Amino acid sequence: MIYSSLVIKFTILYIISYSYAQQCEQTSNAARFNCHPENNPTEATCETRKCCWRPPIPQTNATVPYCYFPTDFPTYEIISNETTDFGQRIRIQKLQTTYMPHDILNLTVDLIYETQERFRIRIYDTIYRRYEVPLQVPVVEKRATDTDYEITFSAKPFAILVTRKSTGVVLFDSSIAPLIFADQYMKLSTRLSSPLVYGLGEHRQPLLINVSAEWKRLTFYSRDFPPVENINLYGVHPFHINLERTPDNQTHVHGQFFLNSNAMDIDLQPLPAITYTTIGGIIDLYIFTGPTVENVIEQYWAVIGKPAMPPFWSLGFHLSRFGYSTFENLWETIKRMHDAEFPYDVQWTDIDVMSSSLDFTYDRERFQGLPGLVRGLQSEGKHYVNRLDPSISSTQPSGSYPPYDDGINREIFVTKYNSTDPLVGEGWAGRTVFADFTHPNAVEWWTRMATAFYESIPFDGLWIDMNEPSNFVDGSHDGCTANALDNPPYVPHVLGNNLSSKSLCPSSQHYLSFHYNLHSMFGYFESQVTNTALKTIRKKRPFVLSRSTFAGSGQFAAHWTGDNRASFQDMYYSIPAILSFNMFGITHVGADICGFGLDTTEELCTRWMQLGAFYPFMRNHNDLGQKDQDPASFSWEAQQIMKQALLMRYSFIPFWYTLHYEASMNSKTIIQPLFFEYLNDKNTYNIDQQFLIGRALLISPNLVSQTNTVDVYIPQDVWYEFSSGVEIETVGQFITLNAPISKINVHVRGGFIIPMQTPGANLILGRGNPFSLLVAPSQFGNASGNLFWDDGDSIDSIGTNTYNYFEFTLTTSNTLTIDPLSTNYKDSPMRLDLIKVLGVSKPVTQVTVNGKVYPNYTYSIFDQILIIHGLDMNILVESSQIIKWTTST
């Protein structure tokens, strides 16, 4: 009996051991999906979760999980499936709970065939309604047909497979890891089509997230912290683009957007695969099938909203700093910029101008002359922007500070958990409460406060900072609760390891929901409210700059990349950040030129001013205690180089402005990585030290100190050097270009016609200056371009059709046609003075304008450039105008 009993026990142990080994067998480390994403997992805690514990073999990467899911981990199976008007509704259930508390066993899955190119997966609790992101997204009730995606699914275990019909490439496959859906912990994994991923912001990282050989975790939870790698930063944009190689060796693109505003981790691994782990809401995932990058962007923006058309003046050069400290220092900066004759449009001030750092105030002693200064700038065509924080001082004498008193009366502040008392934290103004911009009274309250300040200082735009929201204490002065909102069972890998770290208690309450759900949307709602307030106050197109952003913020605000530092590395990282934010639909974006923290150097600031001249939003800004870095504060030689960069920017303003129109109307990014346009050229996939503007200009800055050359890639195409106009001969390869301190390399792409304008002292003063056209023929001798023009300030000039719009076309017969498609804005002269045609390989013998011989032209056989000058042509006419030239045979 004893022998038999031992045999049975050993047999059982062998079966269990064999079963464990079988369920835990993995052919590669890359196929492991993390069952213990918290820090410091142990074998004991892993096995408590009924997961596999094995060191990776070989141990080549410390991020490979030791604890991973077995193949028999409990998951969901289909119990019903019905066809609906929008697609399919599937009920799934799980028979046993797993390791996270409050595991939800019954779920509903909606498969929504939204458009021919856009598919949506929604997974939610069948019984209880959960928080959902309050973003106004399209509601599709009728199923799209003739799609380029095909959906299949398995019943047990439940999984979804999405493939591209035209190629068979897998776009989404959730069978690779278990679906987990607990009250405060949801995890969904899917296979990637390739390890080449772009997007997933806001993080400081290169443009390409290449997971072919590494594991990477990105955390999403808005946070006030100077940009460094591997931490969560100011904004949340869980959108990515993934390249896919087709069977015929072409490259297609698709995208995914995880619509969720709770704290989350997104893990990427070399399988390749992506895992979304969030602690609230529902699983709401969009798949955009492209197949081009431009298609994906258009499909994504159709969900989140297109970027707003900015005011014309905001495209100029902006100057700011924290630390003017006195009116005299501010005035001295403005005066030396004027005396040095720098083009410049917008003057900013920071919190040092405020009285005791209080919103909607200015220090009437240190900045006594500020109202007059602002009005004086405006009389010269310049503009003024001041800063606001969402934290409102709670310690001013009763009745003395309307933002607090009126806010209390309107119950406008974020409150403590289960209380009507405002949560009290700490900001620049000391003890503060925090505005709840989701409250129905928020617009009226914010507008009322801003209007009162506007009557003293007529600002032109508003800069909303510290809106992650930032708090100088963790949670509140009273601490946070012990409940599950403040202490969830899983905390994504946020900086500080606590959701309340330097922000608000997650349990604090907004009008719409708990801060736990809305934290990362704080800046989004403040941008929306501020945008509305500015329209009411100024009756003009609003300009709002926001540090914290969420998907869709581009409808309301511009963005800058935060508190960078004066270093060449920071200058480099500004490029992938700005390229990514263009993907995210926030096209009016820039970085603090010359660096915010640390003292800049003349070399760095000169290089950065050259690069910054090609940011969509161009602002020079630095920190308290750092030396002045306005362009006029440097040597005469540096000033001349910076001035040339600014003049180049200002000459391109018609082009920039038209690009913003294209973004707001036609969902086109303003600046692009090279791979957007050269998708089948693998050399472009990892390039983020060069970029394209409007697909037509290639910018190749020098980002390395003490060097006079730059290594660049010139795609296979026709390219002309901007400064000389000469076509370059070496294309389709990496080359070295001269890049002394006086030069930034700019190349014009063949096939484009770029509208330009003679610069003025600022954009308003230069609006009536003559226009010119830069014509760059393609290899086939054709080119095209366009120009949008309005008053630059009206809220809805597009909707009211009060604008001018022209299309330019060059044909192979040396004929340039200007077609006026709309000429309803007549209040500003639009005269074309000069046309510069590049790549004219044969001598020009005659030029005609509208059928008449025109004598004012020059042609250089050496440079192959035709210049038609002195035109003084009014293009605000009803009919097309035609310029032709004849060449010798």
Over the stretch 71-124, which tens digit does the pLDDT of each residue have? Answer: 999 999 999 999 999 999 999 999 999 999 999 999 999 999 999 999 999 999
Q: Are residues 28 and 173 in the same domain?
A: no
Condensed to tens digits (0 to 9), the pLDDT of residues 494-544 reads 999 999 999 999 999 999 999 999 999 999 999 999 999 999 999 999 999
The pLDDT score that the predictor gives to residue 61 is 66
Confidence of residue 7 (pLDDT cuts 50, 70, 90): very low
Q: Are residues 764 and 805 in the same domain?
A: yes
Task: Name the helix (H) or strand (E) containing 663.
Answer: helix 653-666
Integer Cα distance of 1 and 427 in angstroms: 76
The pLDDT score that the predictor gives to residue 19 is 57
The DSSP 8-state label assigned to residue 176 in this structure reads G
Chosen domain end from 32, 49, 68 = 68
- Residue 791 falls inside a structural domain: yes
Q: Are residues 62 and 83 in the same domain?
A: no
Chosen domain end from 275, 304, 333 = 304
Residue 536 dihedral angles phi and psi, to the nearest 5°: -70, -40
Q: Are residues 61 and 85 in the same domain?
A: no
- Residue 818 falls inside a structural domain: yes
Q: Are residues 291 and 149 in the same domain?
A: yes
Q: Are residues 35 and 148 in the same domain?
A: no
Q: What is the CATH number of the domain that holds 112?
A: 2.60.40.1760
CB-based burial label for 141 (10 Å; 0-12, 13-18, 19+): exposed
Pairing mode of beta strands 719-721, 733-738: unpaired
Inform me whether the pLDDT recorded for 685 exceeds 50. yes
How far the first Cα of the chain sits from its last, in Å, is 110
The pLDDT score that the predictor gives to residue 9 is 42
Q: What is the CATH number of the domain that holds 849?
A: 2.60.40.1180
Integer Cα distance of 198 and 685 in angstroms: 10
Integer Cα distance of 863 and 850 in angstroms: 27
Inform me whether the pLDDT recorded for 252 exceeds 60. yes
Inform me whether the pLDDT recorded for 378 exceeds 50. yes
Q: Which residues of 245-255 are buried (b: 16+ CB within 10 A; e: fewer)?
A: beeeeebbbbb
Inform me whether the pLDDT recorded for 702 exceeds 70. yes
- Residue 587 falls inside a structural domain: no
Residue 504 dihedral angles phi and psi, to the nearest 5°: -95, 160
By C-alpha distance, which of 815, 819, 879 is closest to 848? 815
Pairing mode of beta strands 865-868, 831-837: antiparallel
- Name the token pair of 187: 């995890």
> Which region holds residue 170: left if phi is over 0, alpha if psi is between -120 and 50, else beta?
beta
The pLDDT score that the predictor gives to residue 12 is 38
Integer Cα distance of 537 and 533 in angstroms: 6
- Residue 782 falls inside a structural domain: yes
56's CB contacts (< 8 A; 6+ apart) are 29, 32, 64, 65, 66
Integer Cα distance of 43 and 28 in angstroms: 20
Q: Are residues 847 and 813 in the same domain?
A: yes
Q: Are residues 171 and 100 in the same domain?
A: yes
Condensed to tens digits (0 to 9), the pLDDT of residues 188-201 reads 999 999 999 999 99
Domain residue limits at 784: 661-887
Pairing mode of beta strands 865-868, 815-823: unpaired
Peptide bond into 202 cis (omega under 30): yes
Q: What is the CATH number of the domain that holds 6?
A: 4.10.110.10
The pLDDT score that the predictor gives to residue 743 is 98
Instruction: Count Cα atoms within 13 angstroms, Cβ side, for 493.
Output: 16
34's CB contacts (< 8 A; 6+ apart) are 65, 67, 68, 267, 275
What's the average model confidence in pLDDT over 403-426?
A: 98
Task: Name the helix (H) or strand (E) containing 601.
Answer: none
- Residue 480 falls inside a structural domain: no
Query: Across the chain, what does the average pLDDT equal?
Result: 96
Q: Are residues 91 and 35 in the same domain?
A: no
- Name the token pair of 40: 């410091």
Condensed to tens digits (0 to 9), the pLDDT of residues 297-329 reads 999 999 999 999 999 999 999 999 999 999 999
- Residue 774 falls inside a structural domain: yes
The pLDDT score that the predictor gives to residue 22 is 81
Percentage of the chain beyond pLDDT 70 is 97
Q: Are residues 26 and 119 in the same domain?
A: no
Confidence of residue 256 (pLDDT cuts 50, 70, 90): very high
Q: Catalogue the active-site residues.
A: 465, 468
Chosen domain end from 68, 95, 113 = 68
Instruction: Indicate the number of domains in the chain.
Output: 3
Q: Are residues 297 and 250 in the same domain?
A: yes
The DSSP 8-state label assigned to residue 639 in this structure reads H
Q: Are residues 149 and 239 in the same domain?
A: yes
391's CB contacts (< 8 A; 6+ apart) are 425, 427, 428, 429, 432, 433, 434, 435, 466, 469, 470, 471
Integer Cα distance of 737 and 731 in angstroms: 13
- Residue 557 falls inside a structural domain: no
- Residue 778 falls inside a structural domain: yes
